[in-house]
């Protein structure tokens, strides 16, 4: 599967196997280390294209700020929240993810 080009709409990513399309609308995505950098860019693209995004990061203040930035884009129908995790600690990550109300479709 090819990766998206910079600025490409991620709503539909076509796979090499026929014309199978992955729709992001109303999918739930967890983006680890999503408060800054590439993680935030991924979270932004998913959010813009209709996914419900959970930003998972060890920096609670940074994750909260990232959520506020996404919500400020005006996509009122999408949900966005954050989850404090240490992605280097698998037990902590598992426990935190179990606290989510709905399971993730994209991780």
Helix%, strand%, coil% for the chain, nearest 5? 30, 20, 50
> How far, in Å, CA of 42 to CA of 9, rounded?
12
Handedness of CA 81, 87, 92, 97 (dihedral sign): positive
Structural contact between residues 102 and 81, judged by C-beta atoms closer than 8 angstroms: no
Q: Average pLDDT of the chain?
A: 77
- The pTM assigned to this predicted structure is 0.71
At 17 the pLDDT is 44
* Residue 105 pLDDT: 75
14-30 per-residue burial string, b: 16 or more CB within 10 A, e: under 16 = eeeeeeeeeebeebbbb
Confidence class of residue 36 from pLDDT cuts 50, 70 and 90?
A: very high
The model's pLDDT over 60-81, given as tens digits with 9 standing for 90+, comes to 999 999 999 998 887 665 688 8
């Amino acid at each position: 599967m090819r990766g998206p080009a910079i600025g490409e709409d991620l709503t539909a990513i076509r796979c090499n196997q026929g014309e199978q399309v992955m729709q992001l609308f109303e999918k739930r995505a967890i983006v680890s280390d999503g408060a800054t950098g590439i993680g935030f860019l991924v979270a932004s693209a998913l959010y813009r294209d209709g996914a419900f995004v959970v930003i998972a990061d060890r920096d609670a203040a940074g994750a909260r700020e990232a959520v506020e930035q996404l919500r400020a884009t005006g996509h009122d129908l999408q949900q966005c929240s954050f989850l404090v995790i240490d992605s280097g600690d698998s037990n902590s990550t598992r426990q935190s993810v179990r606290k989510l109300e709905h399971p993730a479709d994209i991780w």
